[in-house]
Amino acid sequence: MSTEDIDPVKPLPPPVVEDPISLIPEFIDSDSSSYPPITPGGSLIIAWQIRNKRVLLVGGGNVAATRLVHLLNADALITLISPPSGLHPETAHRIKTHQHSITYIPRTFHLSDLNDPTINLVLTAIDDPVASTEIYTAAKKLKLPVNVADVPPECDFYFGSVHRDGPLQIMVSTNGNGPKLAAMVRRQVAGSLANGTGEAIVKVGELRRKLRNAAPAKEDGGKRMEWMSRVCEEWSFEELAGMTGAQMDVLLRGFKEGKVEGYDEVVELARVLEAATIDDAAVDAADNQENR
């Protein structure tokens, strides 16, 4: 069959096999007890990238305000539909201060609003259950993921309780069973984190980028991952959070040999090198002054 014969929309039927399980090889040495157990009933927890993607938010009350916080933090492009009389003060504030991200339509929702082909996601936060169900049904016909506030059966996904510290995001979900408990668990988890955890993650990200620039070869990918893992394991969060650019450069010197220097050694060597650099600069400045 040539590529011209393939319909890009209609998928090809799977090959006919009487017993596909019989084709699976036997792994004699495999120990299935070491595999993680399956616990049905959960959600697929993912970090959904909606940066610069259009999200339709119907409603302007306090729930819509909380949705806006999540969406703006994720750099989404938002179309918000609500009569001006239905706007919560925080929602109004977000609309006024984020006009580059929020397109405000001051009226009630029309089903034709879903015809916008740029919409990737639909959220409803209104007190009208009939209208919410109509929006949900119409969105599903268009194969758009949708969340109807406080109606779990009409949600393709839930908003959990989120802790944010720089690049660190931790979400706790009870899968629609107890939002208040999710918030309580989230506070407990956040309280158990080491001081400077978010900043430590920022510095590790900088170190990773420096390492990739220093050793960009694709075949070094596994070595980079292993080395970075060792750094994270051998340095404390506080040490990582305080890491300077000069200390990163010193630490990276050990990559080729697969060596991870300790915090004290790196700090001392970086200090010596910085002092030597300052002395060299002073000598150069003095030489330039004499040659004038």
Residues noted as catalytic: 150
Q: Decide if 145 contacts 174 (C-beta within 8 A).
A: no
